[in-house]
Structure 1
Amino acid sequence: MTDRTTRFRQLLDEIDSTPWGPHEQSLTAEAVALAQELGDEQLEYQARMRQTASANMGGLTDVMLTSFAWCLAHHDADPLRFPLDIDNGAADLMWQFKWMAATLRASPAFSSEQIAAVLNDMEAHYRRAGIGMSGVLTARFEDAWASGRIDEAERLRGLLETAPRDDYSHCDACGRSQNAGFFAATDRDEQAIRLVEEMIEGGFSCGEEPEHALSRVLLPYLRAGRLDDARSAHLRSYRLAKDNPDNLGIVANHIVFAAVTGNEARALSLVERHLPWLAHDPLNVDGHFALLSAIAFALDRVVAVGHADATVRGADAAGLAPFFGGREGGWTASALADAASAAADRIGAEFDARDGSDWHAQRRARMRTLADTRWDVPVRSDAFAVDAPSPEPQDAQGWYERAIALAGYGSEQDALAAADRVGDRADGGLADAEKRARLLGLRIGALTSLAQWDAAEALLPLRGEVLREAGHPQQADLEARRGLALYGRGDVGDHASLEQEWADAAGLPSWSRGDIALTLAALRLRGDDPIGAVELTEHAAVCFAEADDERLVTASRMLRAMAWVAQGEIDQAHEMLESLLADDALNPGHRARLLEMRARLLGGAGRLEEGAADADAAAGILTSFGAITALAETQMLAGALWDDAGHPDQAVPRYRAGIRLMRERGADVRGADFRLGRAMLAAGHAAEAAEMLGDVLQREADGGASAASRAMTAAVLGRALATAEEYGQAMGAYGYAAELHAEAGEPAEQALVLTEQAKILARFGEHSDARDLLEQAAALVRPTDAIGALVEVLHNLGQSYGGDRDERAFALFDEVLALAVEHEADWLVADVTDSRGRALIEFDRIDEAIAALLTAADGFAAIGDAGSAGGSELFAARTLAAAERLDDTVPLYRSVLDRAAEFPALRQVAALELGDVLDKLGRTGDAAQVRTLLDE
């Protein structure tokens, strides 16, 4: 008994320290079950009070109602043993009463009389407990609004505003959000926006705030023409709301926003992601109504922009059949739009029948009025792919040529699909036996590469017959002897058998000798014998040239280039690729493969933009002949090269196209999504990057990714959140990354994320806490050999000490300077010298400070960083101005102006401050002349 009681107490402690979510819900359910096993109703009351709050936050309505009813009955029976408040946050029975009427109202299964009874019971309990009426008025206001009794709701809202606030009033965040939603629903956009902005500026938050409030003013922002504010609100709110299936209404608002702002692809993506939420809580029917209405509206927009046949993934899940019915072959956007609209109308009619109003019909009508409205607010994280046209061939010859091109590239699955179309033609396929033999060889080779041995073996007899028909009996005999060994199979004995054939090949036709040599070369290369492979590719090329088969001459030379790469003979390989690509008659599949090979070589040589251009060209060719399976990898290659070349804006659409193709064939896209998120951040789309990276991190956690992998994702997520000025969430992400790096045994990386946390704390004046983190980071990184991390941490710690007038700063600056000199890091030399100058100012060592700052400026200028040079000089000038050494500041300000030609903001600041200095010196004419720069 004692052990189980101890376990119960441990569970409560764990519940109270665990964020809302599935894990916390399971802990709460375990605590309830354990209390029941113990037969202790007071312990069960402790657990169930927590369970009611947990279920409310997680959208488990049936659990919440059951748990609340049990607790209320026990409280009413014995208030002393089962008190209203157990001193645990939302585990207060009268606070929980506020959720009950809204919960019943959310399902038309509960009558208006039942809802009224709950509200009356709530008021009676409040009065009996001596509690003010603010909470009751709030519940009655919500009930009147939700049922469309708008005049009554307005009256109750007025009473609520004048009622004294108490412990059961809505918090500042929830109260403002609720009123903002009511104002938006009753066409008072300006008031709605004002309330939400007060909430944001005041930093007010709660369980689902500010995400709910921000979603409520998306359309008001659009109607007010504040498009940037609408976009920011959308990205922030959706990121906060997207993981809680109880947030159906919030997500519905975002789906509508995406649909009316030209982001139809994003709307479709959101629909697919959140469709499963419809099956989460069967009693949240009003949430179903909101989401179904949004789905219908958004998919109508998808249809309107030309994607009626787009597949809506996941819509055929069994749990969604009660909403949409069954459908064979999956749901298209057009069909699901109709089904969602019908479901929304049906549910809305049930609500209106219960409430005796047309409020839900009005909500549907209001949304329909947006059908022809559009605001241009691009969100770049999603877009319908715009592929180059790839018209299908119209005859067997066209499909044959496509299959050959695809095989030349090496896309076996695509080649097989095209080859199948040759035989499916109404004209009976190919009459030419030579072409039929080649096509059969293509099929056998592709099946062998895919390890589909039985299917490949089955085609060998037919290939033999067609070879004889085409006049190649010796090749037919050769394939009869060696079978799939000639197609690259690597079973025991295959290699040796080909070596024997090559030794005895003198009597064979040239093409057959070339076939043996090329296959054997590929086996040698696979077996780590690139020198032997090169020799055989030379023989193969000669043999195929004698047989007048230029396609296989090219294939032989391509394999030779690969063998040279394996040998490390990169220059020879590059020359070979250049030579092959110069042939205008090159098979398009070969050209695409050669371009891709050259792209990789150029990337390895640091010629990243040239490599990216080649990868783009390869992708264009693959698109033109339908190599969909291969195209994903090429798009990702192009994205990586553009990314590494410092052009993330070019990388993002390529990553996105590659990911779409990967996802269509069911591939794991976590790594690709991470690259996309990182590129989006680098391209300036921090809020979208945070959304993407948050998803990646969740999928990594669900998929059991290593601590090191999750730490990397969390760290980049922290950077994205900080860039998006979501500093609280950034601190959390960095903290999680630090824990994961510690778990993975990566002290240097842990030190770096602690440093990022310290920067955020310092930004908000928490200098002592920031310094503590930096000291912890320094202790972690010093024993490592991670020079970059050591420099970053020590430099930041030195700056922290300097700002606090701590002499230890200068020893750290000396250490960083020594490392910078040792590793020839000229920019760092200038940067740490600048830091020394700024620290010296804190110690009132002005002349030393100015000397250091000017030395730093010269260092920055020497490596071409005019902006940083101007920044150092500007700080020096300000320091002299503060010391009343005005004459000395003038040449410094003028130097800043000279350096700032390409930095308008720096130039304007310098001109403004120099003008003020010149006025103080009595040089008003010079001051006026300098200020003319402000108008440039």
Structure 2
Amino acid sequence: MTTAPQSIEALYEALHENDQRPYGRTRTVTAEELADAAEQFDDPALLIDALLELQEAYTYGAEPRKSPVVFARLLNLYDEQPDAFDERMRHQLFWRFKWVANALLALPEIPLATLRQWLGEMRDRYVKADIDLQPYYGQAYQLADHLGEDTALAYELWAGRVRSRYSDCEACEICERALFHVGRGDDPRALGIWEPVLSGQDSCQEEPARSISYALLPLLRTGAADRARELHLAGYRACRRNPSMAPEVGRHLEFCALTGNEARGLELLAENRSLFEEVDSPADQLAFLTGVEVLLQRVEALGHGGLATAGYAGRSWTVASLRTEIRTRADELAARFDARNGTASVSTHRRTRLERAPLLDALELTLRPRALDEMTTAQPAPVVSAPESHPETLAELIIRARELDEEGHPEADTAWERLHALATAPDYRHPDDPAVGPLVRLRAELLEHEAGLAERKEDNATAAALAEEAAGLYEDAGRTGQAVLARARALLAAAEAADGDETAKAEAVAAAHAAICRLHEEASAPGPAAAQLTPHEEAALLRVRAAARGLRLQFTRSQEDVPAAFAELDLLHEFATRHALKGQISGAGLLRASVHAMSGDLPAARAQLDSLLDRLRAGGPAWHLPRTLGLRGRVHLGMRDAEAAHTDLTEAVRLANEWPAARMDRGRLHSDLGEACLHLGLLDEALRHLTRGAEMHLRQGDRVDGFCAYSNAAQLSIDLDRVEDAIALLDSVLAEPDIAGGELDDRLTAQLRLTRARALHAGGDLKAATTEFAALAAESADWSDDPGSHAMIAGETAVLLAEAGEFGPAREALDQALAAHATSPESARYEQLSNHLREVARLQAQQQGEEGLRPARALLAEAERLAAAAARAGFVPQGRSLETALAYEHGRVNAYAGAYEESLTALTQTLTLLGEVGSGDERIGEWTECVRLAGVVEGIYLERTGPALARIDAAVGRLTAIGRPDATTPLTELAAQLRDE
């Protein structure tokens, strides 16, 4: 708050605004400032409201030390000026006696005698105010439970009494009753009591998140692992990063530790690192820290104590060091509570949690399962020297790596990686062996391998620089043929890295191809300056030339570039055949099939791949089979043969698993197989392959492909009504360092956030979804190069705002969407924006009735202008026409607002536009619903039963005549209702 409100009205407005903020430091600080400001006005009611807001901020902001102080001021005000408290304020005052009791209980410095004295004060005040004592007995039970006393009597005194208006909410009391039975080992009974809360029937500020966190382990113990998984996803999202729900976060971490999800637990711990500093409640700190310690203890027991982990600010932590720190702090806290209580109950409960054994070896919690081996270690990697136990010498390893590289063997990467570790070690000694050559040659080879890795990650600028550096070292080593090949690869990579549009990139590749050809000619020319290319080197150089031609075709998609691409492939194939280079022969075949596919001749591509597969199965190399099958699978997808694609891609995935992952592009294979599954309606299998493909892309450094695949997987999860899975998946992806650090392309990050916002909306979290959509709409407004995306985001934002009843902001968002569309109209966007306009109009009429009719009609008029523009642009929608959709929406909007004559006219016009329907018509459902709604308006609201029945009977007759009696049910039910009335 920059300046204090200068009037009572302004201060009330500021209090209301602050009440809309999430609990946390910002809300609390503002509440403190507003309470100070309220002191300046001679208005007791204003001060009471400000103090009530401040106490609420302290209570739900996990600051129990301050809450009782504010309540004491309120209580003094009540004693001095009881008439200043209206009924609402009085109710809040007596309700919050429980808040103070809970706050005092959470502070070990508060003596036990003071706790009992406060409960006595609460009892006396309730009796004097003629308030039922059930809430008091509830607090007495909680104190007995905290002290570890026999709670049977205290429980009966509380739970056996009838609830009153000052009792805790039904959901909170259900949780306490369930926990009583959990404490007695009766999980089934506890879960039965909990069911109304766990199923969402009863809820409040803290529920069902609190109950879910407690119910996770009982669910596991009773064999309901799937239910526990579902509730973990939903429950964790409701409490993450919330200081007042730190104990709940700790229980979710414990759940991860006990179900084989230690890596996810560390991810969630990192997401909640702020809780180490923000939780002021000692009781909440202890509950949170114990959950963290359960997780860290399990990770360390599995041998991963050296993993980096999030912890207290100001230093770096490993799992082992953080566990030691937490154990010290938590033991001290527990000891303070025990000293205050005069019992060992708190320490005993903590020890019970720490001694629990895992309940399941592995429970797949999310669509992105992680393993501890994939986490980052905080300990320095040990120095690697040549392993004496390995059967081959260093010289033999170098020679073998070169041989594998010449063959294009997948295991070449493993050999080069071993050599890189050895050659960069401080104690490395290069073999003095003429067959190995000088150290400078090995360094060049290692650089060229790094360049290849960068190229696979599409980091072409880095690849070009490394390859050029390698070329220089090859020349120093006297390896002129390898130098030429490395320089050719550098030229092609630099062209791929060039800025500009597709045309500019095509020109850059053409220039690179010409330069590579000159290199080849110079290297092959007779004379002492010739590079003396080996057959393997020359074939590889021809392969680079062919790749350049193919890349140009990929950019231009011009038939004029096809003959040149095939000419290069003819040169490669002839040379490789003459020198019996099997790998290059099959490589030429793959490139030829790719050229056929890019030129649009899919049958020729398939024939080429059929022939190549026969050759590979007969004579190898076997490691080319997965890639060839993968390409044929993609060709089959292009030919709309999903069955054949599924067969090829399934075999490709199986064969790829037999080889090192780096050269097999398993991410692409799984992603393509997921697409084939989608076409076949195998949605669960598609989801499995999309997520596997995404993770493989990320592991191989293909960040963009990986995140795109995860976005697709999340959208599919939403379509499958696995909303919490989608949200958890996207939360995990958005927490990746390069995304969280803003290093990823902002449009891809926005796409991930947009999918998450849609998932939140699908899951019923309208507030969170609207907040995210509004943020994305504001950010995308600056995308001058992409107004279409802003139009789409702003339009969706408008619909969510309308759902929340915020019609003014919704109209502003629609205006933004229309303005962005106007700067760069696109055909597909006409229908999308029309849908948004019509939906906001419908929502406004539905929520506001007659009051909303005028603005709703204005929105429909805007949609009509958009439809006219679409018609002028030649846009043809895939489904019903925009005019038909508008007529139907006019019918609904007018009906909601009570303009029944206008509604009937619009619905009749809709039926005219739809026309007659046939037996296989996809519009039958839409047509039938329009008839039904017209019958409702005409027969019920306009009370014209005869015409309405005639309309309905005619429609039923039509549906029966075309063999669709199954579609008549809603009409016959309405007809029966009209006849009865």
Same fold (TM over 0.5): yes
Report the CA distance between 1:427 and its aligned residue: 12
Alignment correspondent of 2:112: 112
2:681 is the alignment partner of 1:625: no
Q: Is the 8 A contact 1:817 1:829 kept in 2?
A: no
Alignment correspondent of 1:315: 309
Equivalent of residue 606 in structure 1, options 625, 640, 651: 640
Q: Give deviations 1:871-914, integer Å, cap 9, x for gaps.
A: 325557767888999xxxxxxxxxxxxxxxxxxxxxxxxxxxxx
Equivalent of residue 651 in structure 1, options 686, 704, 726: 686
2:342 is the alignment partner of 1:356: yes
Aligned residues: 845
Q: Is the 8 A contact 1:105 1:115 kept in 2?
A: yes
Q: Is the 8 A contact 2:38 2:47 kept in 1?
A: no
Is the deviation greater in 340-349 or in 580-589? 340-349
Q: Is the 8 A contact 2:5 2:14 kept in 1?
A: no
Is the deviation greater in 591-600 or in 823-832? 823-832
Alignment correspondent of 1:905: none
2:580 is the alignment partner of 1:548: yes
The one-letter code sitting in structure 1 at the alignment partner of 2:309 is A
Secondary structure of 1:65's aligned partner: coil
Is the deviation greater in 127-136 or in 65-74? 127-136
2:703 is the alignment partner of 1:677: no
The one-letter code sitting in structure 2 at the alignment partner of 1:643 is L
Report the CA distance between 1:148 and its aligned residue: 1.9
* Aligned-partner Cα distance in 2 for 1:666–1:11: 53
Q: Is the 8 A contact 1:75 1:83 kept in 2?
A: no
Is the deviation greater in 74-83 or in 502-511? 74-83
Alignment correspondent of 1:500: 518
Equivalent of residue 281 in structure 2, options 265, 280, 284: 284
Distance 1:36 1:239, change over 3 A: closer
Equivalent of residue 463 in structure 1, options 474, 492, 503: 474
2:924 is the alignment partner of 1:830: yes
Alignment correspondent of 1:518: 543
Report the CA distance between 1:446 and its aligned residue: 1.8
The one-letter code sitting in structure 2 at the alignment partner of 1:212 is R
Alignment of 1:716-735 (within 5 A): 716-721=759-764, 735=800
Q: Is the 8 A contact 2:404 2:412 kept in 1?
A: no
Alignment correspondent of 2:164: 165
The one-letter code sitting in structure 1 at the alignment partner of 2:401 is Y
Q: Is the 8 A contact 2:306 2:319 kept in 1?
A: yes
2:245 is the alignment partner of 1:247: yes
Q: Give deviations 1:170-194, integer Å, cap 9, x for gaps.
A: 2333333333333433445566445
Q: Is the 8 A contact 1:256 1:298 kept in 2?
A: yes
Q: Is the 8 A contact 2:78 2:84 kept in 1?
A: no
* Aligned-partner Cα distance in 1 for 2:408–2:86: 71
Is the deviation greater in 536-545 or in 417-426? 417-426
Q: Is the 8 A contact 1:248 1:288 kept in 2?
A: yes
Report the CA distance between 1:279 and its aligned residue: 0.8
Q: Is the 8 A contact 1:648 1:680 kept in 2?
A: no
Q: Is the 8 A contact 1:101 1:115 kept in 2?
A: yes
Alignment correspondent of 1:908: none
* Aligned-partner Cα distance in 2 for 1:777–1:463: 70
* Aligned-partner Cα distance in 1 for 2:735–2:372: 29
Q: Is the 8 A contact 1:53 1:90 kept in 2?
A: no
Is the deviation greater in 818-827 or in 539-548? 818-827
The one-letter code sitting in structure 2 at the alignment partner of 1:58 is G
Distance 1:2 1:554, change over 3 A: closer
Alignment of 1:250-329 (within 5 A): 250-255=248-253, 264=261, 268=265, 271-272=268-269, 276=273, 278-294=275-291, 308-309=302-303, 315-319=309-313
2:720 is the alignment partner of 1:714: no
Alignment correspondent of 1:443: 449
Q: Give deviations 1:489-546, integer Å, cap 9, x for gaps.
A: 4499865543434555454768465454433443445454644444323323323333
The one-letter code sitting in structure 1 at the alignment partner of 2:59 is N
Gaps of 5+ in 1: 862-868, 886-936
Equivalent of residue 567 in structure 2, options 525, 528, 535: 535
* Aligned-partner Cα distance in 1 for 2:8–2:187: 50
Distance 1:68 1:109, change over 3 A: closer
Report the CA distance between 1:421 and its aligned residue: 6.4
* Aligned-partner Cα distance in 2 for 1:857–1:398: 80
The one-letter code sitting in structure 2 at the alignment partner of 1:52 is Q
Secondary structure of 1:5's aligned partner: coil
The one-letter code sitting in structure 2 at the alignment partner of 1:522 is A
The one-letter code sitting in structure 2 at the alignment partner of 1:653 is R
Report the CA distance between 1:696 and its aligned residue: 7.8
Distance 1:801 1:776, change over 3 A: same
TM-score by length of 1: 0.70
TM-score by length of 2: 0.68
Q: Is the 8 A contact 1:215 1:237 kept in 2?
A: yes
* Aligned-partner Cα distance in 2 for 1:222–1:770: 50
The one-letter code sitting in structure 2 at the alignment partner of 1:463 is Y
Q: Is the 8 A contact 1:57 1:207 kept in 2?
A: no
Q: Is the 8 A contact 1:805 1:839 kept in 2?
A: no
* Aligned-partner Cα distance in 2 for 1:776–1:255: 52
* Aligned-partner Cα distance in 2 for 1:775–1:200: 42
Report the CA distance between 1:209 and its aligned residue: 1.7
Q: Is the 8 A contact 1:525 1:533 kept in 2?
A: yes
Alignment of 1:871-882 (within 5 A): 871-872=966-967
Alignment correspondent of 1:144: 144
The one-letter code sitting in structure 2 at the alignment partner of 1:852 is A
Is the deviation greater in 495-504 or in 86-95? 86-95
* Aligned-partner Cα distance in 2 for 1:621–1:32: 66
2:609 is the alignment partner of 1:577: yes
Equivalent of residue 208 in structure 1, options 206, 210, 218: 206
The one-letter code sitting in structure 1 at the alignment partner of 2:343 is S
Secondary structure of 2:547's aligned partner: helix
Report the CA distance between 1:83 and its aligned residue: 9.5
* Aligned-partner Cα distance in 2 for 1:39–1:174: 35
Is the deviation greater in 750-759 or in 64-73? 750-759
Distance 1:553 1:86, change over 3 A: farther
Q: Give deviations 1:255-282, integer Å, cap 9, x for gaps.
A: 555666x674796477546652651434
Is the deviation greater in 558-567 or in 701-710? 701-710
* Aligned-partner Cα distance in 1 for 2:365–2:851: 37
Q: Is the 8 A contact 1:581 1:594 kept in 2?
A: yes
Q: Is the 8 A contact 1:561 1:577 kept in 2?
A: yes
The one-letter code sitting in structure 1 at the alignment partner of 2:715 is R
Q: Give deviations 1:784-828, integer Å, cap 9, x for gaps.
A: 446658566765775798999956666656665676679999543
Q: Give deviations 1:184-213, integer Å, cap 9, x for gaps.
A: 334455664455445678944321123323
Distance 1:125 1:383, change over 3 A: same
Q: Is the 8 A contact 1:351 1:360 kept in 2?
A: yes
The one-letter code sitting in structure 2 at the alignment partner of 1:580 is L
Alignment correspondent of 2:380: none
Alignment of 1:184-195 (within 5 A): 184-187=182-185, 192-193=190-191, 195=193
Alignment of 1:796-811 (within 5 A): 806=900
* Aligned-partner Cα distance in 1 for 2:802–2:584: 52
Q: Is the 8 A contact 2:932 2:974 kept in 1?
A: no
Is the deviation greater in 591-600 or in 27-36? 27-36
Report the CA distance between 1:573 and its aligned residue: 3.7
Alignment correspondent of 1:853: 956
Report the CA distance between 1:247 and its aligned residue: 1.9
* Aligned-partner Cα distance in 2 for 1:609–1:792: 36
Distance 1:185 1:684, change over 3 A: same
